[in-house]
Chains A and B, each alone.
Chain A
Amino acid sequence: DAKTTQPNSMESNEEEPVHLPCNHSTISGTDYIHWYRQLPSQGPEYVIHGLTSNVNNRMASLAIAEDRKSSTLILHRATLRDAAVYYCILRGYGGSQGNLIFGKGTKLSVKP
């Protein structure tokens, strides 16, 4: 499975936008980009996913580069509750379809 690279940590101020980057230079044409987040003492939580086009939902936006070698998760207005570890994961076709492979993610801190 293709790997992703994320910064270990990022900081944000409350009510400001946050852009969480992810590099996936070895992505294949059929890999979907998934984002999960994990709040303290909880299991991971699905955030958003996409293939080629930018995606929006109530939680966040996903901006995918034209060459698909990178993507950015955008939280439009960070709240204290958004402090979590954010994981960028590639979900491929074939091979190990049955599982998500998590890296270490980006730990986001939100300051009041």
Chain B
Amino acid sequence: DTGVSQDPRHKITKRGQNVTFRCDPISEHNRLYWYRQTLGQGPEFLTYFQNEAQLEKSRLLSDRFSAERPKGSFSTLEIQRTEQGDSAMYLCASSLGAGQNEKLFFGSGTQLSVL
């Protein structure tokens, strides 16, 4: 068990470009979450999947953001037409989804800088 893996660790892009991040959850974890974190703030929920189904999306997730988890394993988060306000740490987490006893396991994140 290697934990939650995120790729890349860092991404620098120019405003208006598209970027895609990948998350590999802990194997057999059926839930996968995406969060965003800016400096000095706690992580903010973006969306989550139960297997391949996207069950909840935050109002923070604008139309420029899309997430997929095609086979219920790894997930991708794409941001189209990036803006400087998208600069943040993007965190992925996975869990076995045990209701209120659920424990999330987070990756180390992808740091996005939009110039």
> Measured between C-beta atoms, what is the minimum distance from B95 to chain A in Å?
9
In the complex, how many residues of chain A place their beta carbon closer than 8 angstroms to a beta carbon of chain B? Answer: 27
> Measured between C-beta atoms, what is the minimum distance from B80 to chain A in Å?
23
A-B contact pairs, 8 of them (CB 8 A): A36-B104, A43-B107, A44-B91, A98-B31, A99-B33, A102-B35, A104-B41, A105-B42
Whether the Cβ atoms of B107 and A99 lie closer than 8 Å is no
> Measured between C-beta atoms, what is the minimum distance from B1 to chain A in Å?
15
Whether the Cβ atoms of B102 and A99 lie closer than 8 Å is no
Partner of B105, one of A46, A49, A93, A104: A46
Report the nearest B residue to A31, measured CB to CB: B100
Partner of B42, one of A87, A93, A96: A87
- Using C-beta atoms within 8 Å of the partner chain, give the interface range for chain B: 20 to 34
Report the nearest B residue to A45, measured CB to CB: B106
Report the nearest A residue to B6, measured CB to CB: A43
Interface of A: prevailing SS: loop
Whether the Cβ atoms of B104 and A96 lie closer than 8 Å is no
User: With A and B bound together, what is the CA distance between A81 and B76 in angstroms?
Assistant: 32
Given contacts A42-B109, A99-B33, 10 further A-B contacts (CB under 8 A): A36-B104, A43-B4, A43-B106, A43-B108, A44-B106, A46-B105, A49-B103, A99-B48, A102-B43, A104-B40
- Judge if A7 is at the interface, Cβ distance under 8 Å: no
Whether the Cβ atoms of A43 and B93 lie closer than 8 Å is yes
Whether the Cβ atoms of A42 and B100 lie closer than 8 Å is no
Partner of A102, one of B42, B101, B105, B108: B42
Given known A43-B91, A99-B33, A102-B43, contact A32–B106 (CB-CB < 8 A): no
User: With A and B bound together, what is the CA distance between A44 and B3 in angstroms?
Assistant: 13
Whether the Cβ atoms of A32 and B100 lie closer than 8 Å is yes
Within 8 A of B (CB), among A48-103: 49, 51, 85, 87, 91-93, 96-103
Partner of A101, one of B45, B93, B100: B45
- Judge if B28 is at the interface, Cβ distance under 8 Å: no
**Residues on A with beta carbons closer than 8 Å to the beta carbon of B93:** 43-44
